[in-house]
Structure 1
Amino acid sequence: MQSSELSVQGQNLQTLYNLYVNKRLAVNRRYQRKLVWSVEEKVKLIDSVIDELPIPLILLAQRKRGGVETYEIIDGLQRLDAFFSFMENKFSYNGKYFDLDTIGDTKARLDASEITQGEDKLSRSESLAIANYQIPVSIYRDASASSIDEVFRRINSGGRRLSLQEIRQAGVLGSLADVVRRSSASIRGDGTFSESVILNAMDKLSISRRGLDYGLSLEDMFWVRHDIVAQEDIRSSGDEEMVLDLVLDAVIRPWPTSGWQNRDVAYGIQRRIRTASPEDVNAAIDKVGVEELHQRILSVVGLINDVMSGHGSLGRHMVKLETYEKGTQRQFQAVFAALYSLTFEDGMVPKSHDAVRTVLDDFWGRKGLSIPTGGSSWGREKKKSLYPSVKKNLKKAFYKPDLQRAATQLNSRMYVESLLQGPVTEEPLIELKQGFCVLSSPPVEDAELFEQIMQTAVGMANQGKSAEGLILIGIADKPSAANRIEQIFNVKPLAIHSHLAVGTLEQINHLGYDIDSWWRRWQEKIQTSKLSKEFANSLAHTFRPVYYDELLLWEMKPKSVGKPITYDGRFFVRIGSSTREMTADDFLSHMTLHFS
């Protein structure tokens, strides 16, 4: 790491808060943890500021986000959140709140009713002293991803030690880390399409704590609701360790031992055991595909969620015990492996949710079905004898339908919800479309839509060498469009966070197509369009149907080919959430900035 990459300077909280307000502080979720500090920890930090004690430095990496210079937080996420949440009156210090009239940014937000002043205020001079408090800030300019990863690995901020799974995941690249990270976040409810999220959105994506109004409640999470993973284990990424075991069971044959040493080896940490190597694991995942495996995992979890909807905890349903402090992780793991195999290896589907739930009732009280207990490794030989028996019992609730229909109608509710979590409307790499029709009377095919989507896809791919975007069709851009679709096609919109899913099946049926013919039509249009052959083939491959309950959506994921591309000889880029055409000179400057 070259010294020229690093600059160190003192910045006061007022300056840092201005970056925050203008959404120029970002969190890379590939290696950063959630917000985990309690109110007590945050108050201690404010106490240090008031007593003028030194604070550990903040580490930032300079980045470009949507054409705007931003700063990615390498270390200091918890501290910055504590400072800014105090300055926004989300908690008090000794019963007193920061005076929002002290600095321009908090006063402007107060006047706009974006934040509210607490009743008992600190004095203006005390508040100003806090706002002017100097913090050492180190900024990496033009730092490589590998150097940032290495720095993060060496940091243990705030005296809070990382768990084994957090250490495994921290800054790691590769298919295993990718699918574990993404699937875990989606199941918890804090999944996002983009790895980079503005700090302002992190409270919506973090676990609530006593006295803090965060977005995610532990009690509402899949793992806790179903007595699978204990609450305290979620905080230390025990749910990600659970997902890691599910991933390994899904792709490795024979089923591997589940134990901490085997998990370490899968991530490339040397241990004196014989187990699947990182190369073997990543190759097995790549054979399925990271995106495909991610969606498969979510679909099985979603199926279990649907099966138990309105019928209580899965853990209590399949294990008739009085206490669940340790959860039912191994029981769930075995059931998951069987459901995964029935669905994706045998091509079967449930006869009904009731049928699956009936089979799962007191499942682990059946003769011949027992799970090893304790914290030791769960050996492959035990799995070899147990998993087929679990599958045989669950198979009673499944049948084999038409294979194509089964693949097409897989419910991807949890997957779609994870895509639309976070500040989607401000994301340059996400575009939502209501459907394929102009909502006239009668509705007709939108003749301009294909061209618009191709230009958007090119603009997304031109964001940089590693850019990957998402175009999702079947999501209304405003309530009036959703109401109009309900009037015309009798489709009841479904709320997904702040968006409305309206589906597209009725529209394509109205135009005289079924799912398969529409799918082929658009893939052919993409492949024969005015795109380069390389990009067209890549884009066409990503266009596919996705179900959100009974609503048919379509997704497309434009991905950079490592160099700038054009559409019909024209230059397109994404500026904020809009697609813009550029002149040749402007595009050359953009290309130099993002592809050099």
Structure 2
Amino acid sequence: MKNISITNRNLDYGISVEDIFWIKNNIITKEALRQSQDEEVIADIVAWVSMEKGLRSSSDILNQLYGFSLLNSEESSLSETVELQIQKVNEEAVIANIQHVFDKIIDIVEQSGKTFNSLLFDSQQAKISRYFQIVFYAFYKLLIEENMEVTDKASLIGHLNKAGDKTISLASGGGNWSAKEKQTQSDALYGVIRGCFSEAQENDPARNQWVTRFENILMQSSTEQALYDFKVGLHALTEDSSKLDLDTFSKIIKTLTSMANTFPGSSGYCLLGVADNKSTADRYKSIYSNEYVSYSSFYITGVDAEANKHHSNIDKYFTKLVQLIKNQPISDRDKDNLARNITTVRYFEKDVIILKIESDDQPSIYDGKYYVRHGSNVDEVAPENFGRLYSRFAK
């Protein structure tokens, strides 16, 4: 314990309070640190980035988040809602995202040669934890939600210089901090620094906001049935089915090409790890002893159990699918499009693989034939209808 304890004395062990991020950058005081205000700031941040709707900051909100106050239905609902959102994204992903933003802020501050406080203000201010949160939220939107990266550090430092005096305008005093002020002030800073960021070159799955997109795909499938398909997996739901069903995979790819032929600019999806009905989900649970997660009328089984049992792990399973795509009787353009768009989504500790195809400027072909999708049916296009199919894309 002595090696990780905080000390303000010149001892040869422990962590010097002067070296702690919050104190080193004059964001909170030593007294505030002793009162765990750093933990309160982190709690505010975690709750804000986890919730779809903004959340105000106050002592009673913190009590609700931690469940420290006398529980009533409203308080229980708030803590459960935040916990649910964290579970959706996955705890490790939440941690990775927040740490990533912290790392970028620390890097920018160090590059400036100043403390966070002296960078934001001409004259050092006493309590600026709320200013730090505003900077954090603006960075989070750019780095995580929009998958951007810093491409002009010098300009970014210039925009942050005296931003606490010029750009960010917070009401004085403590107590309640409204969600509206958080949002408007972080949006204001976002607008100022946006030009210093560009689309990230590396596609980091931990920073992709796929959970909401995944749920949107599930809900959209109800109204756009022709562009969505679901498979619980690629192995037959029998006790001894160790061999991947290549016929099922080929049908998936053929279905995706038929989706691409729906109309120009369309995108088709096949989700592996989502059962199309409860009986299939129950069968998957029986075979793999693995619970599924319900969302609306969908049953998310994931492909984790299947991948681990038959392919050692999800990475080898994923690699196998990419290789199989290359062997399919489709155009090189569609092979490339499918291989680039395949992704793994983590949802409630379940790995779901999303296969996506985007329509080209001409129809997609499968094994020398054209197909279109009507509802859940895949129909071959007769030769006499080729002209109509091509005219759809010629427009």
Coarse TM-score class (shorter-chain normalised): 0.5 to 0.7
Which residue matches 1:476? 275
CA contact (8 A) 2:256 2:357 kept: yes
Which residue matches 2:343? 544
CA contact (8 A) 1:466 1:560 kept: yes
Counterpart code for 1:432: F
After TM superposition, give the deviation of residue 537 of structure 1 in Å: 0.8
Which residue matches 1:334? 135
Change (3 A) 1:491 1:379: closer
Counterpart code for 1:436: L
1:222 aligns with 2:21: no
CA distance in 2, matches of 1:475, 1:452: 17
Counterpart code for 1:428: A
1:413 pairs, out of 206, 211, 222, with 211
Which residue matches 1:436? 234
User: Helix, strand or coil: the match of 1:438?
Assistant: coil
**CA offsets per residue over residues 192-242 of structure 1, 9 Å max, x none?**
xxxxxxxxxxxxxxxxxxxxxxxxxxxxx7315x238xxxxxxxxxxxxxx
Change (3 A) 1:380 1:528: closer
1:466 aligns with 2:272: no
Counterpart code for 1:335: F
Change (3 A) 1:446 1:534: same
Which residue matches 2:355? 556
CA distance in 1, matches of 2:368, 2:392: 20
Which residue matches 2:287? 488
1:570 pairs, out of 365, 369, 379, with 369
After TM superposition, give the deviation of residue 334 of structure 1 in Å: 2.8
User: Helix, strand or coil: the match of 2:338?
Assistant: helix
CA distance in 2, matches of 1:504, 1:423: 20
After TM superposition, give the deviation of residue 381 of structure 1 in Å: 12
After TM superposition, give the deviation of residue 437 of structure 1 in Å: 1.2
Which residue matches 1:500? 299
**CA offsets per residue over residues 429-487 of structure 1, 9 Å max, x none?**
11111111110122342231211111111101111221111111110011011001111
Gaps of 5+ in 1: 1-220, 229-297, 308-328, 347-367, 385-402
Let me know the Cα RMSD of the aligned residues.
Answer: 4.1
Change (3 A) 1:345 1:560: closer
**CA offsets per residue over residues 18-49 of structure 1, 9 Å max, x none?**
xxxxxxxxxxxxxxxxxxxxxxxxxxxxxxxx
Which residue matches 2:161? none
Which residue matches 2:331? 532
Which residue matches 1:514? 313
CA distance in 2, matches of 1:382, 1:508: 46
Change (3 A) 1:566 1:490: same
User: Helix, strand or coil: the match of 1:448?
Assistant: helix
> Which structure 2 residues correspond to residues 101-116 of structure 1 after superposition, within 5 A?
none
CA distance in 2, matches of 1:512, 1:593: 42
CA distance in 1, matches of 2:335, 2:188: 46
Change (3 A) 1:530 1:342: closer
User: Helix, strand or coil: the match of 2:334?
Assistant: helix
Aligned length: 243
CA distance in 2, matches of 1:429, 1:505: 25
Which residue matches 1:581? 380
Counterpart code for 1:373: L
Counterpart code for 1:303: V
CA distance in 1, matches of 2:273, 2:377: 18
Change (3 A) 1:550 1:342: same
> Which structure 2 residues correspond to residues 88-237 of structure 1 after superposition, within 5 A?
222-224=52-54, 226-227=55-56
After TM superposition, give the deviation of residue 590 of structure 1 in Å: 3.1
**CA offsets per residue over residues 499-529 of structure 1, 9 Å max, x none?**
0100001112222242222222221221232
CA contact (8 A) 1:299 1:411 kept: no
After TM superposition, give the deviation of residue 337 of structure 1 in Å: 3.9
Q: TM-score, normalised by structure 1?
A: 0.36
User: Helix, strand or coil: the match of 1:526?
Assistant: helix
CA contact (8 A) 2:345 2:352 kept: yes
User: Helix, strand or coil: the match of 1:222?
Assistant: coil
Gaps of 5+ in 2: 1-50, 58-88, 99-129, 150-164, 172-183, 195-201
CA distance in 1, matches of 2:314, 2:277: 25
After TM superposition, give the deviation of residue 371 of structure 1 in Å: 5.2
Higher-helix-fraction structure: 2
1:372 pairs, out of 160, 169, 174, with 169
User: Helix, strand or coil: the match of 1:580?
Assistant: strand
Change (3 A) 1:593 1:408: same
CA contact (8 A) 1:410 1:547 kept: no
1:303 aligns with 2:94: yes
Change (3 A) 1:337 1:379: closer
